[in-house]
Amino acid sequence: KADTALYRAKEQGRNNYEFFSEEMATANFELMYLNSALRKALENEEFVLYYQPQVNSLTGKIVGTEALVRWLSPDTGLVAPNRFIPLTEDTGLIVPLGAWILKKACLQMKTWLSEGIELSHIAVNISGRQLSDKNIVRTVRDALNFSGLDARYLELEITESTIMQEDRYISVLHEFKALGIRLSIDDFGTGYSSLSRLKHMPIDKLKIDQSFIKGVPGNKDDEMITQTVIGLAQNFGLEILAEGVETQEQLEFLKQNNCHYIQGYFFSKPLPFNEIDFSKR
Ligand code: C2E
Ligand code: MG
Ligand code: MG
Ligand code: MG
C-alpha cells in the first residue's frame, strides 16, 4: 500500500525523494521495460510503416499518402503509435526512430514514383522532440539524399500545438522550406495558434483535426469551426485537408464547403505499402 510505504519512510525520517509508492515503482519498472524493448525493436527493425491515402474529395483520386508507424512486436503483435511514441519522445528514442521513419518513407515514395504512380507527396509526422534536435535538418536532408527523392515530394506534418511550443521551431520550418520540402499543420484547430503567428509560417497545408469532423454534419459548432478553418486556408492560399472522414455524409458536407482533400476510414484505413489500390476512384 502506498500509505504504508509513505508512513514507513516518514517514520525513518528520510528525505522527500525517498517517499515513493509501490504503484509508482511498478509504473517505473514497466516504462523501463518498455523502453528497453523499444530500443531493441529499433535495432531489430521491428517497426513498420503503414500508409493512409489522402484523396481529392471531388475525384476520389489518391494524391498522396501519410506514413504512420506501427511496432510489430514479436511478443504482442501490432502496437499502435499512441502506445509507444510518447515514451520515445520522453527518452529521446524518437530521434533515431524518426530518422529511420524518414528514410523508409522517402524510399517508399521514390519506389512508387518509379513505378509510375503519380503522387504529389508522402507525409511524415515530426514531433516536437525531433524538431528540437539540433541535427533535424541534416537528418531530413540525409533521408532525401539516401533515397534519391526530390524534396518537393516530401511533406512534413507538425501539429499545431507543437509549433506553438517554441518560437525557434519557426526558423527550423524556414530551413525545411528552403530545401523545397512541403509543410503541413496537423490537428489544426486544437492548438490555439494566433493568426498573426500563422501569417509568418512557411506552410502549405492545414489538416482540420478529426475531433471537428466527428461532429459534421449536425453539430453546429463543429460545422462552423470546419467552415471557418476552410475559409482561413482559402484566404491564406493554403491547401486544406479534413482528417478522420468516416461517412458519406461527412464527405458531402466537406465537398459542399470546398474542402479539397480528405483522409479517413471512409476511403481507406492506413495500409501496408503493397495493399493500397492506387487505381481506386
Ligand atoms: P496523426 O498524425 O494525427 O494521425 C492520424 C491518426 O488518425 C492515425 O492514427 C490514423 O490511423 C487515424 N485515423 C485516420 N483516419 C481515421 C478515421 O477515419 N477515423 C479515426 N477514428 N481515426 C482515423 P495512428 O496511426 O494510430 O497515429 C496516431 C498518432 O501517432 C498520429 O496522429 C501521430 O501524432 C503519431 N504518429 C504516428 N506515426 C508517427 C511517426 O511516424 N512519427 C511521429 N513522430 N508520430 C507518429
Ligand atoms: Mg499526421
Ligand atoms: Mg492529425
Ligand atoms: Mg494526432
Query: From the CB of 54, is ligand 1 less than 6 Å away?
Result: no
Q: What is the DSSP letter of 247?
A: S
Let me know: does 201 contact 167? Beta carbons within 8 Å: no
Q: Which of 57, 68, 214 has most ligand 1 atoms within 8 Å of its beta carbon, as the pocket-test mutant?
A: 68
| Nearest-angstrom CA–CA distance, 273 and 276 | 6
Give the number of the atom of ligand 1 that is nearest the alpha carbon of residue 270: 11
Query: From the CB of 175, is ligand 1 less than 6 Å away?
Result: no
Task: Choose among 105, 93, 86: nearest CA to 133.
Answer: 93
Task: Choose among 221, 123, 128: nearest CA to 181.
Answer: 123
216: CA distance to ligand 4 center in Å?
19
Handedness of CA 200, 206, 211, 213 (dihedral sign): positive
**What pTM was estimated for this model as a whole?**
0.92
| Nearest-angstrom CA–CA distance, 248 and 230 | 19
Query: From the CB of 128, is ligand 1 less than 6 Å away?
Result: no
Residue whose CA lies nearest to ligand 1 atom number 2: 125
Q: Give me the tens of pLDDT residue by residue for the chain, a chain 281 residues long.
A: 445 554 555 555 545 545 567 777 788 888 899 999 999 999 999 999 999 999 999 999 999 999 999 999 999 999 999 999 999 999 999 999 999 999 999 999 999 999 999 999 999 999 999 999 999 999 999 999 999 999 999 999 999 999 989 989 999 999 999 999 999 999 999 887 888 888 889 999 999 999 999 999 999 999 999 999 999 999 999 999 999 999 999 999 999 999 999 999 999 999 999 999 999 75
Query: From the CB of 127, is ligand 1 less than 6 Å away?
Result: yes
Spell out which residues have Cβ within 5 A of ligand 3, the ion. Answer: 186-187, 243
Task: Choose among 123, 180, 112, 177: nearest CA to 152.
Answer: 180
184: CA distance to ligand 2 center in Å?
9
